[in-house]
Amino acid sequence: MIPIEPLGMTASQWQFLVNVDEYVRASARKLVPQSTRRQFVTARDILERLNGSYGDEPRRGILLADDVGLGKTTVAAMVAWIVASAGERRGVRILAPNDVMVRRWEEELLSHVEPLQACAKHLDVQRHRVKARRVGRLSAGTIQIVKHSYAASDLNLTCDLLIVDEAHRAKGDKTAFSLALKRQKKHARRVLILTATPFSIRLEELQRMLLLIGADDARTKVRAFSRALDDLYQGNAARSEEFVAERLAMKAREAVDALSAGVIRHGIDDLPREHRAFGARADWPIHVPPAQADELELMLRADRALRISKGHDGGRTGATNDPRFHVGWRHLDAVRADLKLEVPQYPEPVKAVVENHLRAMKRLRASLGVHSKMLAVGAAVAEQLEQDEKVLLFCHHHATAQELTAYLGSTLPGNAAPPEPSTSSLREAWCAVLPPIEGEDANEYMLRVTFIDWLCSEQNRAQVARWLGSARRRATSLASQMEKIRARHSDGHETIAEAARALFAALVQSKSSRAVLKAAGERPEILPGADGAARVLGLCQPSDDERETHLFGHNQQPDTLIAIFNSPFGPDVLVATDRLSEGIDLHRYCRHLVHYELDPSPIRTVQRNGRLRRVNSWAATISEPIHYAYPAFQGTRDHRLVQIMKKRIDSFSLLLGGVHDFDVGEVHDSEEQWRNRVITLARARLEKAAGGLRARER
């Protein structure tokens, strides 16, 4: 690794970060002063540590592990601009996990150009210094953004500052990305790592990150706290709760003390002055009736049939008591169909037993119809649509997401457009709201025409009519009303016209969304919400049923869907897998989230919640809480999973993310209650320890 050399920077070069109000006024974005102030304090602290300011020794690197939604990207972007532009210009490289995140980084960096030009003229910040997706020689004063995969190339990523986003994706000691980071670290003078809450990742991965940032001396204390966490979740639950709580708190404090020089972390719950900007939280109770005897019998017979068939069908593997059986029937039906094809090959008496189960399962399925959990969630979602709310639902498996999307698409009330305003009047009004820009070429003009066509589709026309209410419907009046009336809610942050202009700008700015908009000129159905009958869209592996094809996003790059869901227009309901649980903003017009199907990892649940609980959320804008729903199919595995997950999430921040994944079949209720009592006893000391990782303000 390159020896730690002075960066040759002075604290005066980032002194402007103290003038938060001036920066907020200069920004085109709607920034929250209190959150921006905390982000700037964090950026200053990182720069001071890396530079060795105020007489401190310069550090090799910093790990920034703020909670989801606190703006790690904003902090790191500010650090990147200052390192690249202050004094002797330096080269900065950013490694992002995928194309979506590369584009997000590019947008974030460019959003700071104008306010920095106004508030920090000495930096000479220019848009052309941002180079996205370009690998090669790094010029002085340039910020280069590439995907993780480029780290594994033959190129040496030499730079003054290497920023690694979502570094916890370097799973395993032998993965290409993990090996590449080991090799590339010697080419970077300084390293800034952005990752999940420290102990939400495997200890081995955290140890590698500590090596990258030069925090080797913390590894012993980190390992000791990790063992204390393992002991809490896997150790003897007959021990004294007070003794275990004391030991856990002590190991947490020692780990934080060891990490504090190289790790910075804030939790949302530790920032009461910012809570208003994030929005309050509230439970959204969705009652699911207890499982009926026929439903339990169906799942039990599926489990027995699969257990018996193992070893007699060419090596069947996988779960028998499959969690997908507890939240929907589509996957169970597919498994039942496969078994029916395979059973003639089985020897007796296996064949007879499996056939008996299959006959009973067929009878039970004919009597049950739609899954009880799906019925209950569908009714709750429909109620929110009646209130003009958007709803986000997360599933763990593609099969569950497909079934849920198809069910909601077939049962949610339609968004049929009223007679007024007519399509022609609405089109004329939109043309007035979105007029061609002087000098706009033919291609740009056609994108605008396609976008207006989409705004005039049945679903969007119905939405606009609902927001306009009794407003006058002539075209000239419509355009004027759109400039005055707010979309979705009277306390919303945008008028109908402003929201449309913002969405169009977002679509044409993104390369992938621009391509979708261009293709939609001939194939309008590829734009989400173009089909008036579809108020729901699924972002998962599409169903094979051609009758359902319009319900799924077929573009591998989800930028278009994300931009539309973050507007008041388009589909009201989004069903997603955990592909969208990390690094994606979905909070602009949505405050209702349903955990329809849970991943066994609490970190996934926390990440999902972070899609909505972010600065300037829709909930904060309209002063209403974010609603999180954990519907549970009572009497089944699903119910136990929800019960345990909610308890472990309550402990997530206290334990610095050190909340173990779990299999409900291996968790005993008495032991889980013991763990909860231990954490309750240690709560005050754990909270105090966690606060030791906050950014320092000089």
pLDDT tier at 472, thresholds 50, 70, 90: low
Q: For residue 231, which of 213, 212, 215, 252 has the smallest C-alpha distance? A: 252
- Is the per-residue pLDDT at 162 higher than 80? yes
Q: Which of 484, 511, 526 is the last residue of a domain?
A: 526
pTM score > 0.75 for this model?
yes
Residue owning tokens 């709580």: 245
User: Within a domain: residue 383?
Assistant: no
Looking at residue 419, its amino acid is P
CA 109 remoteness from chain centre: 20
657-683 pLDDT, tens per residue? 899 999 888 899 999 999 999 999 999
Whether residue 311 is found in the same domain as residue 206: no
- Domain total for the chain? 3
Whether residue 135 is found in the same domain as residue 27: yes
- Residue 272, preceding peptide bond in cis (omega within 30° of 0): no
User: Within a domain: residue 252?
Assistant: no
- In a 3-state reduction of DSSP, which class is residue 93? strand
267 with 688: CB under 8 angstroms? Answer: no
6 with 50: CB under 8 angstroms? Answer: no
Of residues 321 and 445, more confidently modeled: 445
402-433 pLDDT, tens per residue? 999 999 999 988 776 777 788 898 999 999 99
Separation of alpha carbons 390 and 529, rounded Å: 13
Q: For residue 181, which of 208, 200, 155 has the smallest C-alpha distance? A: 208
192 with 164: CB under 8 angstroms? Answer: yes
* Structural domain that includes position 75: 11-214
Whether residue 68 is found in the same domain as residue 159: yes
488-500 pLDDT, tens per residue? 999 998 999 999 9
Q: Which of 214, 243, 267 is the last residue of a domain?
A: 214
Separation of alpha carbons 440 and 451, rounded Å: 15
202 with 210: CB under 8 angstroms? Answer: no
Whether residue 443 is found in the same domain as residue 331: no
The pLDDT of residue 358 = 96
Cβ-in-10-Å burial (0-12, 13-18, 19+) of 273 comes to: exposed
Separation of alpha carbons 156 and 158, rounded Å: 6
Q: Can you tell me the mean pLDDT for 219-242?
A: 94
User: Within a domain: residue 205?
Assistant: yes
Token digits of residue 558:
């989800």
Q: Can you tell me the mean pLDDT for 560-567?
A: 93
The pLDDT of residue 172 = 45
Whether residue 318 is found in the same domain as residue 462: no
Whether residue 210 is found in the same domain as residue 310: no
Separation of alpha carbons 393 and 405, rounded Å: 9
Whether residue 361 is found in the same domain as residue 440: no
Q: For residue 41, which of 66, 6, 61 has the smallest C-alpha distance? A: 66
Q: Which of 214, 237, 255 is the last residue of a domain?
A: 214
User: Within a domain: residue 570?
Assistant: no
- Is the per-residue pLDDT at 315 higher than 70? no
Whether residue 364 is found in the same domain as residue 426: no
pLDDT tier at 378, thresholds 50, 70, 90: very high
Q: What is the CA radius of gyration of the chain?
A: 27
- In a 3-state reduction of DSSP, which class is residue 311? coil
- Is the per-residue pLDDT at 62 higher than 60? yes
User: Within a domain: residue 433?
Assistant: yes
- Is the per-residue pLDDT at 156 higher than 90? no
Separation of alpha carbons 45 and 47, rounded Å: 5
Bridge-partner residues for 95, per DSSP? 146, 164
What does pLDDT average to over the chain?
A: 90
The pLDDT of residue 196 = 77
Q: What is the DSSP letter of 435?
A: P
Whether residue 66 is found in the same domain as residue 126: yes
The pLDDT of residue 173 = 45
User: Within a domain: residue 207?
Assistant: yes
Whether residue 364 is found in the same domain as residue 430: no
Lowest mean pLDDT among 306-320, 339-353, 558-572: 306-320
Separation of alpha carbons 104 and 661, rounded Å: 29
Length of the chain counted residue by residue: 698
The pLDDT of residue 3 = 63
What are the DSSP calls for 580-615, one per residue?
A: GSSS----SSEEEEEE-S--S-HHHHHHHHTTTSST
The pLDDT of residue 54 = 83
Q: For residue 165, which of 103, 209, 101 has the smallest C-alpha distance? A: 101
CATH code of 69's domain: 3.40.50.10810
pLDDT tier at 188, thresholds 50, 70, 90: confident
Q: Can you tell me the mean pLDDT for 21-29?
A: 94
What are the DSSP calls for 375-427, one per residue?
A: HHHHHHHHHHHHTT-EEEEE-SSHHHHHHHHHHHHHHSPP-PPPSSS-HHHHH
- What percentage of residues in the chain have a pLDDT greater than 70? 93
Farthest-apart Cα atoms in the chain, separation: 83
The pLDDT of residue 486 = 95
Lowest mean pLDDT among 173-182, 329-338, 366-375: 173-182
Whether residue 57 is found in the same domain as residue 154: yes
User: Within a domain: residue 339?
Assistant: yes
Separation of alpha carbons 185 and 191, rounded Å: 8
Phi, psi for residue 521 in degrees, rounded to 5: -60, -35
Whether residue 115 is found in the same domain as residue 206: yes
The pLDDT of residue 135 = 72
- Is the per-residue pLDDT at 84 higher than 70? yes
User: Within a domain: residue 311?
Assistant: yes
